[in-house]
Amino acid sequence: MSFLLRRRNQIVRSGVLAGHAAGIIARSLQSELYIALVNLRKTARSYGLRRLLAELNSLGLQPSIAVDGLKTLAEDAARARYSASSYAQYWLAKATRLGSPDAASAATDARLSMIAETEAFEAFTSERNHAAEILAGILLLLGGPDEEIKLFKRWDAKLEACPVCAAADGTLVPVGQNFVQGEPGTVHPRCRCSWSLVKK
């Protein structure tokens, strides 16, 4: 996710140009990356929800899902705060040791990309699980004995999946429930798995 790296570079550059000490730069990194991460999670959430609605459509289902955003916002803020602060501390330790803000940035690229990827997938999955719980409730209300609609989440692992994710590939759980292995996209940092809807 190059956006976060670019944003980090802008902040460091303007701090260096202003003659700020590494500690001051680290503090603005913390607050600016916090905002960037909240936005990144927000984007990933709306993408996840749009994808879910498209999947429902392709299964011939069109329930309207109302999603309460407040709980979501608090969760995003907490995770973004934690990640921004741990990255800023890590960057500052590198800047102190290497004696150069630019070298600290280069040495922490991988960490920042990992945070961006992990947060995007976590938010994507979190939003879809939140919507799936609501969906499960709607199906319970709609489903009569004659026309029972059974929806499942199917684990879709990526080619580079870890052993846990690879073994979980194709596993089904009823919509609204969690996989025993953990939720795809959140099993480990950089997990790129997801689930898709299956109708039975």
Q: Which residues bind Zn ion (CB under 5 A)?
A: 165, 187, 191, 193
Strands (E), 67-150: none
Indicate the DSSP class of residue 19. Answer: T
Closer Cβ to Zn ion, 4 or 191, answer by number: 191
Least distance from Zn ion to the Cβ atom of residue 163, Å: 10
How far is Cα 87 from Cα 68, in angstroms, rounded to an integer?
30
Least distance from Zn ion to the Cβ atom of residue 155, Å: 9
Task: Using alpha carbons, select from 165, 158, 200, 196 the residue that is nearest to residue 182.
Answer: 165
Closer Cβ to Zn ion, 135 or 187, answer by number: 187
Closer Cβ to Zn ion, 22 or 193, answer by number: 193
Least distance from Zn ion to the Cβ atom of residue 195, Å: 11
Closer Cβ to Zn ion, 47 or 179, answer by number: 179
Least distance from Zn ion to the Cβ atom of residue 191, Å: 4
Q: For residue 159, how many other CB atoms are within 10 A of its CB?
A: 6
The closest residue (CB) to Zn ion is 165
